[in-house]
Amino acid sequence: MTTMTNAHAEALGGLLQAADALCNVIDSGDLFAGYDGDPEKRETAVAAIDRFDAARVKAHQTATPAVVVSAPRLPGRSNPFAQYRNEILGGYSTGQRLATLVLHLYNGNTWVVDLPSLLGSADERHVQIALECQDWYGRHGENCPVFMALAREILRRDHPELCDE
């Protein structure tokens, strides 16, 4: 039997609080309203997701090795379309290239991404963002509501004439 440290107990308490807050955002409908373009609800949803992710990481960091080994494995990384949303929507040139990458993944027949330009002019962090987005899309595709909402948001922002909303 393993004993839990005070730090781990506190981290688990924080994780439960963050999970409850995230459930409240989901139950209220704010999560999906935020994904569909409501900026205030999007901020609420992103804050709840960020709080949950930080609490999850802290719980893992404070766990004793025996607890980590016996704990169920959590899915790999966080959704990069949520995690790097600000960078993807950034108004700077590499941010615009990341947004084009999202549109290309959304509809490659209409949107062409210049990967050599994106990867060649981006710093290491932005290259990693592009790679994580492609990897996530490869595993989840258009079944990812965060990706789909972000692609629609970019379309509404950059090409409102193409949106039927």
Same domain, 88 and 114: yes
Residue indicated by tokens 């991404």:
113
The reply to whether 46 falls in a domain is yes
* 87 within 8 A of 97, measured Cβ to Cβ: no
pLDDT at 37 over 80: no
Looking at the fold, whether 64 and 101 belong to one and the same domain comes out as no
Q: Which two three-digit tokens encode residue 112?
A: 């062409």
Cα(163)–Cα(106) distance, integer angstroms: 14
pLDDT mean across residues, the chain: 82
Residue 136 C-beta-side C-alpha neighbours within 13 Å: 26
Count of structural domains, the chain: 2
Using CA atoms, how far apart are residues 20 and 64, in angstroms rounded to an integer? 24
Q: Which burial class, exposed, middle or buried, applies to 88 when counting CB atoms under 10 A from its CB (0-12, 13-18, 19+)?
A: buried
E strand residue ranges, 66-159: none
Residue 75 within a domain: no
What's the pLDDT score for residue 49? 78
Residue 1 is predicted with a pLDDT of 47
Query: Which residues span the domain enclosing 33?
Result: 6-70
At 45, the pLDDT band (50, 70, 90 cuts) reads confident
Higher pLDDT, residue 156 or 36: 156
Mark whether 55 and 93 lie in a shared domain. Answer: no
Instruction: Name residues whose C-beta falls within 8 Å of residue 164's C-beta, 6 or more positions apart in sequence.
Output: none
- Tell me: do 85 and 64 sit in the same domain: no
Please check whether residue 1 lies inside any domain of the structure: no
Query: At residue 26, does pLDDT exceed 80?
Result: no
Residue where the block lists tokens 């404070």: 62
Cβ distance 85 to 144 under 8 Å?
Answer: no
Encode pLDDT of 87-133 as tens digits: 999 989 999 999 999 999 999 989 899 889 888 999 999 999 999 99
What span, in angstroms and rounded, lies between the C-alpha atoms of 89 and 23? 26
Amino acid at 157: R
The pLDDT tens digits for 72-82 are: 334 446 899 99
